[in-house]
Structure 1
Amino acid sequence: MKACRPARFCSGDIMRHVVVMAGTGAIGLMAVFAVDLLNLFYISRLNDPALTAAIGFTGAVGYVQIAVSIGMSIGLGAVIARQIGAGRHDRARRIASSFLLVMTAVMVALGLATAIFSTPILHLFGATGRVAEQAGQYIRIVSPALWLVAAGMGCSSLLRAVGDAKQSMNVTLIGALASAMLDPLLIFWLHLGLAGAAISTILSRGLVAILGYLAVRRHDLLAMPSTRYILHDAKLVGGVAMPAILTNLATPIGGLFVTHAMATFGLAAVAGQATIDRIVPVAFAFVFALTGSVGPIMSQNQGAGQLDRVRQTLVAALKLVALCVALTWTILLPAQNLVVQAFAAQGTTADLIRLFCTWTVGGYLFIGMLFVANTAFNNLGFPLYSTLFNWGRATLGTIPFVWIGMRFGPCGVQVGQVLGSVVFGTWAVLTAFSVVRNLKPGRIVPGLATELPGRTAKSAMAELNELDEEDQIAEDVARV
C-alpha cells in the first residue's frame, strides 16, 4: 500500500493558501470568461442585433448546463479533499475514478437532450424568430460535446483538491488561449459567425479535458474504475453533488426570469443584459474562483480535525471578497464610457451598462458573501443549506424584486435583481459562521445531510462512521 501523501492545507498561513488558490483560479477563470467576452465583442462587430441577442439566450441555456457540471465537480472536490486530509489517498483515487465516469455519462445525456429540445427550451426563455434560429444552431453544435465540460471541470476540481492550483490554472489558460485564437479565425476569416464561435468552444473544451486528464494522472488520482464500487462511490459523492447541483441550478433559473423580463423590453435590453452577464465573470473572477478554491482548504482541515483553521478560512475569504468588489467598482465607475464604446452599445443597452458600472456593481459584495457561505455549507457537510439559500435568492430574492422593477423599465429589472441578493447574502454568511462555530471534531463523511430535521447529531455521526467502516471493509476484501 502506498504511503499517505501530506495534506497541503493543514499547515501554513491560511490567508496565503486562500490567496494562492483563489488567485491562480481567478487567472484561469478570467481567461475563460474573457474569451466569452471577446466572443460577444466579435459578434457585436457584425452589426446584427439578432446575433447579439442570440448570444444572450445561448448564455442563459449554457448556464443551466454548466450548473450541473459545477455541482458535480463541487461534490467531487469536497469528498476527495476530505479523504486526502484524512490521509486516505488510495480511497481518494478510487472515488475520483468512479465519479468522473459518472459525471461524463450524465453530461452526455444532458447535452443530447438539450440539442434535441433546443427549440422549445429557447421559446421558454423568450427567444423567437431569427434570434431563436441562430441561438438554436449554436446550441445544437455545442451541446452534444457537453461531456467535455464535465471532464475538464472534474479534472480541475481534483487538481484543486490536492492543492495543485498552478497546474489547474495552466490547463484552463491554455484552453482559453486556444479559443481566443480560433474565434476570430472562425467568425471572421471563415465567415461562420455564431457557428464559428460554437466550433471554437468545442475545440477549446476538448483541449482542456485532455490536458486536465494528463495533469491529474501525474498526481496518481485516476485509475480504471472498478464496477463494484461505481454505485457506492457515486452515492457518496452524490450526497454533496446533488444539493450542489440544485444550488447551482438556482442561479440560471433566476436568470431565466430576468432574461424573460428583459425580453419584454426588446432586443436592446436583452443585448444589454448579455453584455453585463459577460462582464461580471471577468470583473469578479477572483470572487468566483473563491468558491472552488476555498472548499478544499476547508475540507482538508476538517478532515484533519483542525476546526479553528476552517473558521480562519471563512474569514479570509470574506475579506478578499470585499477587497475585490471595492477594487472592481473603483475601476468600472470611471471607465463606463469606454465599456459602452467597446461594445458599440446604444440606447437601452448603453443605459444598462452605465447603471451597472455606477451602482449595481456594488451589490456583488452580497452575491460574493452568498458564494462563500455556500462553499462552506457544501464542504462542511451541510449542502442542503446552500440549496435553500440559493433557491431563496433565485425565487423570493429575484421574482418579486424584478417584477416590481419592471414597472420602471429594464433598469428597474437590473436593480431588482441585485436588491434580493442583499438579504440572502447577509443571512447566508451569518448562518455559515453559526455552522462553523458548532462544528465538532470527529469522523464525518461529507455529503450526508446531518442537518436534516429529526436526526440528532449522535445518530447521524453513528450512521456516518458505520458507512465509513463498511467502505474500508469493502476495500480490504477487494484487495485480498
Structure 2
Amino acid sequence: MSGNIAKHVFVMAGTGSIGLIAIFMVDLLNFFYISALKNPSYTAAVAFAGSLGFILSAISIGSSIGISATVSRLIGAKKRGKARRYAATFLAVMLCIATLLAALNFIFSRQLVSLIGGKGEALEGAVLFLRILAPAFPLLCLVMAISGLLRSLGEANAAMRVTLSGAVCAAVLDPIFIFGLDLGLTGAALGTIFSRILICANGWYQLSKHDILAFPRLKEIKPALKAIAPIALPAIATNLATPVGNLFVTRTMSHFGNDAISALSVIERSVPICFAFIFALTGSIGPIIAQNFGARIFERVKETYRWALRFTLGCVALIWLIFFLNQNLLIKLFHIQGIGIPIIHFFCDYLVEGYAFLGLLFVSNTAFNNLGFAFYSTFFNWGRATLGTIPFVLIGFYWGPEGILTGMTAGMALFGTLAYFKAKNVIHNLHLRFPEALA
C-alpha cells in the first residue's frame, strides 16, 4: 500500500504475461503446424474446434479463480486445514463436472460444429479433433486449478514454469506427430494432450511440496461449494461471455468459406499472445486495488486505475505497430489463402487499435470486481458479447468479412467506453459510498 504504483503494476503484469503467453502458445503452435499442411479445411477444422474449446477453457478458468481465491483467503486466515479439505473436495467435484462436459462434447461434437457453420471436410476434421481432445478436458481443468493453487501459495514463478513446460512440450511434439508420424489433425490433438499431461504432472509435483490437498470427502462437498461457488460461478459467467460472442462471429464468418475462417482463427489466436500483457495487467492490479480499497486509500485506487489505462493504451499502440509492419509475414507464416489475405491486411491496418477499448473493458471490470461491484463486470462482459456483437456483426455482414470484423470492433468500442465511464464514476465516488473504515 506504499511505493511506486507504476513500477508495481508494470512488474506484476510483466511477470504474469509470461505464464499467459505459454498457455496461449500451445493453441497457436497447433494452428501454426496444421497451417503448414496448406489445407484450408484442416485449418478451418482447428478453428471450429478451437472456438468450442474456448468455452471449456472459460469454465476451467472461472473454476480456478474460485478455488484459488478461497484457498488464499483461508490460508491468510490461518485456516490451512480447511483450505486443504475445501481445495481437494472442490477439485474432485470440478473433475466430475469436467468429465460430464467432456462426454457431452464427445457425443454432440458434430451437432455443435454444424451449429457454428462447419461443413464438409472442415466439419469432419473438427469433429475428429474435438473427440480426441474430449477425454483430456478434465486435464485442462486440473491444469488451471494447479496454476491457481500455486499462485495462491505465493509460488507465481513455479506456476509460470509449469505452464512454460507445456508450451515447450507442444513445440517439440507437435511437429513429430503432425509431420514425422504423418498424423495431421490427430497428431495436433495428441500433442495437446501430452502437453497437458506434462503440465499436470509437473504442477502436481510442485503442489506436493506444499501439502495443500487433503483427501476429498463427501461430507465436505456442501461446505466447499458454499465457500467456493459464490466466487467461481460469477467468474465462469464472466469468462464465458467472450467465447460465446466469438461463436456467433465464427458462424457468421463461415458464410465466406474456410479461407475466411482460417484468417479469423489466426486473429483469434494471435491476439491473446500479443495482448497477454493487458490480460496479465487486469490480474495484477486486482490485489493492488483491493488492498488500497480496504485501507480506504482511495487516491491510490484512482492512481492504480489511471496507470493501468496508460499501460493498456501504450501496449495497444506498440502491438498495432508490430501487426502493421509484419502483416505479410503473418500471412506467409500461417499460409493464409484466398479471401483470408485481405481480411488479415484489413485487420492489421485498421482494427488492431480497437483492442484499446477491450483493454478499457477488462481494466474497468477488474476495478468493479475488487470494489464490490461485480455485477457491472458481468453486465458489461455479456453486454459486449450479445448487444455489442450480434447486431453489429449482422450489419457488418452485408459488407463482407471486413464488415464483420468492423462490427465486432464497434461493439468493443461501445461497451469499453461505457465500462470506462462507469468505473471512473464508481472510483470517483468511493469516498461517498464508503465513508467509514472497512471491516
Check 1:296–1:233 CA distance in 2 against 1; reply closer, same or farther (3 A cut): farther
Matched, 1:359 2:355: no
Matched, 1:294 2:285: yes
The residue type equivalent to 1:236 in the other structure is A
Matched, 1:336 2:327: yes
Contact 1:86–1:304 (CA under 8 A) maintained in structure 2: no
2:369 aligned to which of 364, 378, 381 = 378
Matched, 1:146 2:137: yes
Equivalent in the alignment of 1:446:
none
1:233 aligned to which of 224, 237, 246 = 224
Equivalent in the alignment of 1:48:
39
Equivalent in the alignment of 1:388:
379
Matched, 1:413 2:429: no
Equivalent in the alignment of 1:18:
9
The residue type equivalent to 2:438 in the other structure is G
Contact 2:26–2:166 (CA under 8 A) maintained in structure 1: no
The residue type equivalent to 2:39 in the other structure is D
In structure 1, how many angstroms separate the alpha carbons of the residues matched to 2:256 and 2:235? Answer: 33
The residue type equivalent to 1:365 in the other structure is A
In structure 2, how many angstroms separate the alpha carbons of the residues matched to 1:374 and 1:100? Answer: 26
Contact 2:295–2:438 (CA under 8 A) maintained in structure 1: no
SS at match of 2:387: coil
In structure 2, how many angstroms separate the alpha carbons of the residues matched to 1:179 and 1:234? Answer: 34
1:121 aligned to which of 93, 98, 112 = 112
1:261 aligned to which of 252, 263, 266 = 252
Check 1:296–1:424 CA distance in 2 against 1; reply closer, same or farther (3 A cut): same
1:270 aligned to which of 255, 261, 273 = 261
Number of equivalent positions: 434
Contact 2:117–2:251 (CA under 8 A) maintained in structure 1: yes
Q: What is the aligned-residue identity percentage?
A: 49
Check 1:386–1:194 CA distance in 2 against 1; reply closer, same or farther (3 A cut): same
1:37 aligned to which of 28, 44, 65 = 28
SS at match of 2:335: coil
1:368 aligned to which of 351, 354, 359 = 359
SS at match of 1:197: helix
How many angstroms does 1:431 deviate by?
Answer: 2.7
Equivalent in the alignment of 1:468:
none
Equivalent in the alignment of 2:99:
108
How many angstroms does 1:134 deviate by?
Answer: 0.7
In structure 2, how many angstroms separate the alpha carbons of the residues matched to 1:22 and 1:346? Answer: 36
Deviation per CA, 1:325-375: give whole Å up to 9, x if none.
111112111111111122222331111111111111101111112122223
Check 1:12–1:100 CA distance in 2 against 1; reply closer, same or farther (3 A cut): farther
Check 1:149–1:136 CA distance in 2 against 1; reply closer, same or farther (3 A cut): same
Check 1:103–1:323 CA distance in 2 against 1; reply closer, same or farther (3 A cut): farther
In structure 2, how many angstroms separate the alpha carbons of the residues matched to 1:410 and 1:337? Answer: 19
How many angstroms does 1:224 deviate by?
Answer: 2.6
Contact 2:24–2:272 (CA under 8 A) maintained in structure 1: yes
Contact 1:77–1:158 (CA under 8 A) maintained in structure 2: yes
Q: Which runs of 5+ in 2 are unaligned?
A: none
SS at match of 1:286: helix
Check 1:62–1:86 CA distance in 2 against 1; reply closer, same or farther (3 A cut): same
Check 1:309–1:220 CA distance in 2 against 1; reply closer, same or farther (3 A cut): farther
Q: Let me know the Cα RMSD of the aligned residues.
A: 2.4
In structure 1, how many angstroms separate the alpha carbons of the residues matched to 2:124 and 2:274? Answer: 31
Equivalent in the alignment of 1:181:
172
Contact 1:85–1:300 (CA under 8 A) maintained in structure 2: no
Check 1:142–1:379 CA distance in 2 against 1; reply closer, same or farther (3 A cut): farther
How many angstroms does 1:392 deviate by?
Answer: 0.3
Check 1:371–1:88 CA distance in 2 against 1; reply closer, same or farther (3 A cut): farther
Check 1:167–1:358 CA distance in 2 against 1; reply closer, same or farther (3 A cut): same
2:190 aligned to which of 187, 199, 214 = 199
Higher mean displacement: 18-27 or 46-55: 18-27
Q: Which runs of 5+ in 1 are unaligned?
A: 1-9, 444-480
2:155 aligned to which of 164, 169, 172 = 164
1:285 aligned to which of 271, 276, 285 = 276
In structure 1, how many angstroms separate the alpha carbons of the residues matched to 2:115 and 2:250? Answer: 10
Higher mean displacement: 87-96 or 425-434: 87-96
The residue type equivalent to 1:189 in the other structure is G
Check 1:150–1:352 CA distance in 2 against 1; reply closer, same or farther (3 A cut): same
In structure 1, how many angstroms separate the alpha carbons of the residues matched to 2:26 and 2:59? Answer: 21
How many angstroms does 1:232 deviate by?
Answer: 1.7
Equivalent in the alignment of 2:438:
442
In structure 2, how many angstroms separate the alpha carbons of the residues matched to 1:426 and 1:155? Answer: 35
